[in-house]
Copies of this chain bind each other. A is one copy, B any other.
Amino acid sequence: MNEDAIRTEVRAWLEANWDSSLSLVEWRSRLVDSGWGMPEWPRAWYGRDFSSAQARVVQQELAKVGAVGVARTGIRLLAAATLLEHGSDAHKTKFLRPILTGADTWCQLFSEPGSGSDLAGATTRADFKDERWIVNGQKLWTTSAHHADWGLLLARTDWDAPKHEGLSFFVIDMHQPGVTVQPLKQMNGHASFNQVFFSDAVVDPEHLVGKLGNGWAVAMTTLAHERRGADGMRSGAADVGTAASRTGRVHDEERKEIETVMAPYTWYPQRAGRVDLAVPRAKETGRIDDPTVQQELAKLLILSSSAEWTARRARATQQLGKPQGPEGSLGKLAASHVARAAARVHTLIACAEALLSGVDGAEHGVIAEILLSVPAVSIAGGTDEIQRNIIAERVLQMPKEPRFDTGPFRDIPRNTQ
């Protein structure tokens, strides 16, 4: 199907169906069922087997009339991609549609207090008793768990198998007595994540995803989509801006949806260091006349500009379909450097004002929030240490770390809590 044919068909369909006075779920139900919501998906599952180039054309047409797309917030699309690849037909039938319409909310239950960088070291256990899986343990860093309907759960089902081979992947119903969700407060005062406790929580046997013991491979699919999504999230942010002015019930509901999901993350721009504030603040405070401030500001601008240009180089290469160079793996580590440099500069500009926060703080507390949030940037989503390992091993082809976690999981040293 060529570009023009797609455009014609989408336009015709939109003319007949797009209606901003519908409820969000109503509209998305139409969209999903039509196959225009996820055209790159298979025909059998709400899609049209389109290439990503073809899908982009559909996207453009939707954007032109301001039509709302499928639900993409939270980890919905990670869940969908995982189920699409590893789920049974029953899973797909049950879960995919309410994911895309936004009716159901999902959360990811991988990290644990004892396994952060080392996800495969999970010790949350699922034991098969009386024809059901009984889950016990604790998960951490779970976003949106407090309003999730379903969770993607990585749990250990075999303690005698090697570490990566004793894990299984489940879909767990979050609305049950055995699941307790608690907010996890961070040092900057926000509580963007949850801890989830399982105490004899129950999973139906048919909610095992993939084969028993194959959970690590399934989780890797989720994580691969998460990494790929990091770029998408950034461009998504821009969409929100343009949608802000649109009227109609569907838009109102979408804005609320985004707002709810984004609420715990208002500090994320601060975590990245808010380089955008540096020069304006230096000018406003007059600190830009201080030669030391100039030097540090310039260092920051060099770092952030060159990091941005490096990301653009990576994207250009990708868009040209050329083999990715090393520049594609450096973004996360570069972001840590940028954020730390930004925190330094903001402190230098603020001088004594760096003592204050909240209403007394510079920029109504935003500067203080930067200073208290930047430490997370080099930890969340893979520490700098893990990033450097990955760059060294995958990009620079240096030897892998020696393994100390082979053999039966039962015998591998692990955290005791």
- At the interface, yes or no: A295 with Cβ under 8 Å from chain B? yes
A248 to B: closest C-beta gap in Å: 57
Q: Name the B residues within 8 Å of A402 (CB-CB).
A: 402, 404
- At the interface, yes or no: A176 with Cβ under 8 Å from chain B? no
The CA of A295 and the CA of B293, in the complex, are separated in Å by 11
Q: Mark contacts of A278-315 with chain B using CB atoms, 8 A cut-off: 1 yes-contact digit, 0 otherwise.
A: 00000000000011100100000000000000000000
Q: Mark contacts of A387-408 with chain B using CB atoms, 8 A cut-off: 1 yes-contact digit, 0 otherwise.
A: 0000000000000001010000
Chain A interface size band reads under 10
- Taking CB as reference atom, which chain B residue is nearest A290? B291
The CA of A292 and the CA of B294, in the complex, are separated in Å by 10
A401 to B: closest C-beta gap in Å: 10
Q: Mark contacts of A18-49 with chain B using CB atoms, 8 A cut-off: 1 yes-contact digit, 0 otherwise.
A: 00000000000000000000000000000000
The CA of A291 and the CA of B291, in the complex, are separated in Å by 6
Q: Name the B residues within 8 Å of A292 (CB-CB).
A: 291-292, 295
The CA of A295 and the CA of B348, in the complex, are separated in Å by 13
Q: Name the B residues within 8 Å of A404 (CB-CB).
A: 402
- Taking CB as reference atom, which chain B residue is nearest A293? B291
The CA of A295 and the CA of B294, in the complex, are separated in Å by 13
- Taking CB as reference atom, which chain B residue is nearest A291? B291
A69 to B: closest C-beta gap in Å: 51
A412 to B: closest C-beta gap in Å: 15
A39 to B: closest C-beta gap in Å: 51
The CA of A404 and the CA of B404, in the complex, are separated in Å by 13
The CA of A404 and the CA of B401, in the complex, are separated in Å by 12
- Taking CB as reference atom, which chain B residue is nearest A402? B402
A288 to B: closest C-beta gap in Å: 14
The CA of A295 and the CA of B295, in the complex, are separated in Å by 11
A71 to B: closest C-beta gap in Å: 48
The CA of A167 and the CA of B295, in the complex, are separated in Å by 55
Q: Name the B residues within 8 Å of A295 (CB-CB).
A: 292, 295
A145 to B: closest C-beta gap in Å: 36
The CA of A137 and the CA of B167, in the complex, are separated in Å by 54
The CA of A291 and the CA of B293, in the complex, are separated in Å by 10
The CA of A402 and the CA of B400, in the complex, are separated in Å by 14
The CA of A257 and the CA of B295, in the complex, are separated in Å by 50
The CA of A202 and the CA of B36, in the complex, are separated in Å by 87
- Taking CB as reference atom, which chain B residue is nearest A295? B292
The CA of A81 and the CA of B400, in the complex, are separated in Å by 43
Q: Name the B residues within 8 Å of A290 (CB-CB).
A: 291
The CA of A402 and the CA of B404, in the complex, are separated in Å by 10
A396 to B: closest C-beta gap in Å: 18
A399 to B: closest C-beta gap in Å: 11
Q: Mark contacts of A305-342 with chain B using CB atoms, 8 A cut-off: 1 yes-contact digit, 0 otherwise.
A: 00000000000000000000000000000000000000
The CA of A402 and the CA of B402, in the complex, are separated in Å by 8
A388 to B: closest C-beta gap in Å: 15
Which chain A residues (358-417) contact chain B, with CB distance < 8 Å? 402, 404
The CA of A292 and the CA of B292, in the complex, are separated in Å by 6
The CA of A295 and the CA of B292, in the complex, are separated in Å by 8
A294 to B: closest C-beta gap in Å: 9
The CA of A291 and the CA of B296, in the complex, are separated in Å by 13
The CA of A291 and the CA of B295, in the complex, are separated in Å by 10
A93 to B: closest C-beta gap in Å: 50
Since A291-B292, A292-B295, A402-B402 are in contact, a sample of 5 more A-B pairs with Cβ atoms closer than 8 Å, ordered by chain A residue number, is: A290-B291, A291-B291, A292-B292, A295-B295, A402-B404
Q: Which 8 A-B residue pairings sit nearest by Cβ, starting from the closest?
A: A291-B291, A402-B402, A292-B295, A291-B292, A292-B292, A290-B291, A402-B404, A295-B295
Give 8 pairs: A residue, B residue, CB < 8 Å, sorted on A.
Answer: A290-B291, A291-B291, A291-B292, A292-B292, A292-B295, A295-B295, A402-B402, A402-B404
